[in-house]
Amino acid sequence: MQLKADVFGTITREGAIVCRDTRRARPWAKWLARHLARREARALRALRGVHGVPSLIDFDGYSLRRSWMDGEPMHRAHPRDPAYFQAAFGLLRRLHHARVAHNDLAKEPNWLVTPGGEPALVDFQLALVSRRRSRLFRALARDDIRHLLKHKRTYCPQRLTAREKRILATPSVVSRIWRATGKKAYLFVTRRIFGWADREGAGDRRFGRE
Statement: residue 31 has pLDDT above 90: yes
Q: Name 12's bridge partners.
A: 2, 19
Residue 4: pLDDT band by 50, 70, 90 thresholds? confident
* Total domains present in the chain: 1
Q: What is the pLDDT of residue 184?
A: 58
> In this predicted model, what pLDDT tens digit does every residue of 164-186 receive, in sequence order?
999 999 887 666 665 656 555 55
41 alpha-carbon distance from chain centroid: 13
pTM: 0.83
- For residue 78, the enclosing domain spans 2-207
> In this predicted model, what pLDDT tens digit does every residue of 45-90 receive, in sequence order?
999 999 999 999 999 999 999 999 999 999 999 999 999 999 999 9
Distance (Å, rounded) from C-alpha 197 to C-alpha 38?
24
User: Which H helix or E strand runs over 113?
Assistant: strand 111-113
Reduce the DSSP state of residue 125 to 3 states and report it.
coil
Q: What is the pLDDT of residue 163?
A: 95
Q: What is the pLDDT of residue 171?
A: 80
DSSP string, 63-108: EEEEE---SEEHHHH----HHHHHHHHHHHHHHHHTTEE---TTSG
pLDDT, mean over the chain = 87
HSE at residue 83, side-chain half, CA atoms within 13 A, is 3
Q: What is the pLDDT of residue 197?
A: 54
Distance (Å, rounded) from C-alpha 87 to C-alpha 70?
17
CATH number at residue 120: 1.10.510
Closest CA to 85 of 164, 165, 151: 151
Q: Find the DSSP H helices in the chain.
A: 30-46, 74-77, 82-97, 135-155, 162-169, 173-180, 182-187
